[in-house]
Chain A
Amino acid sequence: MIPRGVRYALSGISWPVYVLLYTPLALVAYYSFSPAPNSTGHSLHAYNILLHDGAVAAALRRSLILAFGSAITSTALGTLLGYGLCRFRNANAKGFLAHLPSLIIYTPIIMPSLVFGISELIFFNFVHNATGLLGAGLVTMVIAHITFQVPYVALTVFARLSGLDPYLFEASYDLYANGVKSFFYLIVPVVQPAIIGGFLLGITLSIDDFTISFFTSGPGSVTLPIYIYGAIARKGISPEINALGTLMIGTIISLALIQFFITRHRERAGQLSARGKIA
């Protein structure tokens, strides 16, 4: 397809780009092993400080609560949303109301995260001044994170369901399954990969986010990214920040690779067993 000369040129451009993509991340790791004060040579000094830093531990705990709390809720809301839109929406309906659900779902995706974050800041501020509820903190952060995850989960589940044979639903009704039963015994198992995918996507989006967290957080809800941002703004990059960055980079890369190879292994196994059945 691609002539040999062109392939060499493509490799010549691409491998350096791959190296460049990981150079900054590698530098973070490199500087995290910098020597302890008054000594030379690489050391785990920064990691040692990090381990005994209560603020970092608290920030990590909040980050995990934020990621899992928001992803679990948004998976529930998003799965129902994707299911409902796929199954119960009148496909022939015309007009503004018929387009409203799509409009609502795409808003969080299209909206620049800065506008998203500031909108939440103002809204929670007004609500708090009026009612005393929802002061800026972990709760408002979880609410905001759920809001940007729901559409992604809904789209993932919707995509999976719309690829299904519609007669499956008919068949479940013929077997006297009511709506709730058919949801739990047919839909949930069938879309399970999409639900898990949506959940993992939600966690990834939550961990990746800084801007929206920044504008919805309060003084008592510093998460890891906000901690790092604040530390850099106050006193620049320190070996401890690099150590923390290294751990975050390492965790996410390992998780992604593990997930990738597990999925691939399953797919291969599935293909092999399918082939075995045919033969």
Chain B
Amino acid sequence: MSTMPSEVAIEAGRQRLRLWVTAGPGLVWIMLFLLIPSAILLGIAFFSADDYGNPVLPLSLSPFQQVAGYSLLGWDSGNIAIFLRSLAQAGTATLVSAALSYPLVFFIMSRPESLRPLLLLFIILPSWTNQVVRTYAWLELLGPNAPVSWLAHALHLVPPDLGLAPGSFAVTTGLAYNYLPYMIVPLYASAEKLDWTLVEAGRDLYASGARLFWSTVFPQTLPGLLSGVIFVAIPAFGDYVVPQLLGGDRALMIGSLIANQFTETPDWPYGAALTIIMLVFTGLGLVAFRILTRKLGGAEEATI
């Protein structure tokens, strides 16, 4: 009797040791090289900046006042405009990719089963090329000397000698292009599981095409759509390469603003405070998504 619990304890201890030996190195690696560094970054936001932008004591909240737009010169609405622009850009890019994803996904579903993986691959392929290459490629299509910009001139959409890029149109396009696969893949996964008998039932009840879509197809693919929204909106909101290459000075986004505080005009505490605010926005988005998903009763995610 008395030996049993100790054997159990020894076995549990062995199990814990095995877990440490196998999972330990990877977990410690991520903690050391990501969790600790990001904790340092967030901590820096509560320091003052010296003349070179490095964090120094005393602790202060002035970086956050800077984020809100206050400086020695008074209040400036620039930062709020950048935040709103980033939200609008990420939102539009998400909408565009969702609007394109539905027809694309059901187009693929309407093709023979053997062709579907290939058609899906061809949507994902561009996103495997390097971020810089696939982004600057749009400069060639939308730049001042490209045919698309001539068309825009002819329609008086942009002033002559300016192209569609750089500018906010190019940023939206670039973001949607970069993150389209992140919308397609989860949406396709939920469309594959679609229960077509519900659609047939709706058709038997003489539902119109639009009605059929909204009451049978849309609710069933909603979990995929919601995952897609998260996968697109969050990275698009904080993207760095796209606004940097396609935005120019007229379409500055939060990502470039943060990066500038660590490269061109160093002010680490201010940059760290901006990062915190960006992460708060991101976190709020994630929480809202969790609540929405649970309410709609969908999205069983595979978790480790």
Residues of A at under 8 Å CB distance from B?
A: 1-2, 6-7, 9-11, 13-14, 17-18, 21-25, 27-28, 31, 77-78, 80-85, 87-90, 101-102, 104-108, 110-123, 126, 143-144, 146-147, 150-151, 154-155, 158-159, 179, 204, 207-211, 215, 224-225, 228-229, 232, 237, 241-242, 245, 248-249, 252-253, 256-257, 260, 264
> Taking chain B's interface residues, is the majority helix, strand, or loop, or is none over half, making it mixed?
helix
Closest 8 CB pairs of A and B: A84-B22, A81-B26, A123-B37, A84-B23, A24-B137, A112-B238, A14-B107, A119-B37
Q: How far is the CA of A250 from the CA of B131 in the complex (A)?
A: 15
User: Which residue in A25, A27, A118 is a CB contact (below 8 Å) of B258?
Assistant: A118
User: Which residue in A25, A88, A118, A155 is a CB contact (below 8 Å) of B18?
Assistant: A88
Residue from A83, A89, A241 having most chain B Cβ neighbours under 10 A: A89
Q: A6-B209, A28-B137, A119-B38 are in contact. Are A113 and B23 (CB under 8 A)?
A: no
Q: How far is the CA of A264 from the CA of B118 in the complex (A)?
A: 10
Q: How far is the CA of A269 from the CA of B126 in the complex (A)?
A: 29
Q: How far is the CA of A116 from the CA of B15 in the complex (A)?
A: 33
Residue of B nearest to A264 (CB): B117
User: Which residue in A6, A11, A107, A228 is a CB contact (below 8 Å) of B30?
Assistant: A107
User: Which residue in A9, A104, A237 is a CB contact (below 8 Å) of B31?
Assistant: A104
Q: Is the CB of B139 within 8 A of A237?
A: yes
Q: B residues within 8 A CB of A85?
A: 19, 23, 304
In the complex, whether B103 has a CB less than 8 A from a CB of chain A is yes
Residue of A nearest to B194 (CB): A1
In the complex, whether B271 has a CB less than 8 A from a CB of chain A is yes
In the complex, whether B278 has a CB less than 8 A from a CB of chain A is yes
Q: Is the CB of B130 within 8 A of A81?
A: no
Q: How far is the CA of A249 from the CA of B128 in the complex (A)?
A: 9
Q: How far is the CA of A165 from the CA of B289 in the complex (A)?
A: 34
> Taking chain A's interface residues, is the majority helix, strand, or loop, or is none over half, making it mixed?
helix
In the complex, whether B89 has a CB less than 8 A from a CB of chain A is no
Can you report 27 residue pairs joining A to B where beta carbons are below 8 Å apart? A10-B107, A13-B103, A17-B104, A21-B180, A23-B141, A77-B29, A84-B18, A85-B19, A88-B15, A88-B19, A88-B22, A102-B303, A106-B304, A107-B35, A110-B286, A122-B41, A146-B29, A154-B26, A155-B304, A204-B128, A225-B132, A228-B136, A232-B245, A237-B136, A248-B133, A253-B125, A253-B128
Residue of B nearest to A259 (CB): B121
Q: Is the CB of A21 within 8 A of B123?
A: yes
Q: How far is the CA of A9 from the CA of B40 in the complex (A)?
A: 53
Q: B residues within 8 A CB of A78?
A: 26
Q: A residues within 8 A CB of B16?
A: 88
Q: How many residues of B contact A (CB 8 A)?
A: 81
Q: Is the CB of B131 within 8 A of A122?
A: no
Q: A residues within 8 A CB of B169?
A: none
Q: B residues within 8 A CB of A6?
A: 106, 209
Q: Is the CB of A207 within 8 A of B104?
A: no
Q: 16 more A-B contacts (CB under 8 A) besides A17-B104, A28-B133, A229-B245?
A: A22-B126, A77-B29, A80-B22, A82-B304, A85-B19, A107-B30, A113-B240, A114-B259, A118-B258, A120-B37, A144-B33, A159-B302, A208-B129, A225-B132, A252-B125, A252-B128
Q: Is the CB of A151 within 8 A of B38?
A: no
Q: Is the CB of A115 within 8 A of B23?
A: no
Q: B residues within 8 A CB of A88?
A: 15-16, 18-19, 22-23
In the complex, whether B70 has a CB less than 8 A from a CB of chain A is no
Chain B nearest CB: distance from A195 CB in Å?
Answer: 14
Chain B nearest CB: distance from A239 CB in Å?
Answer: 11
Chain B 35-74 interface mask (CB, 8 Å, partner A; 1/0): 1111011001000000000000000000000000000000
Q: Is the CB of A150 within 8 A of B30?
A: yes
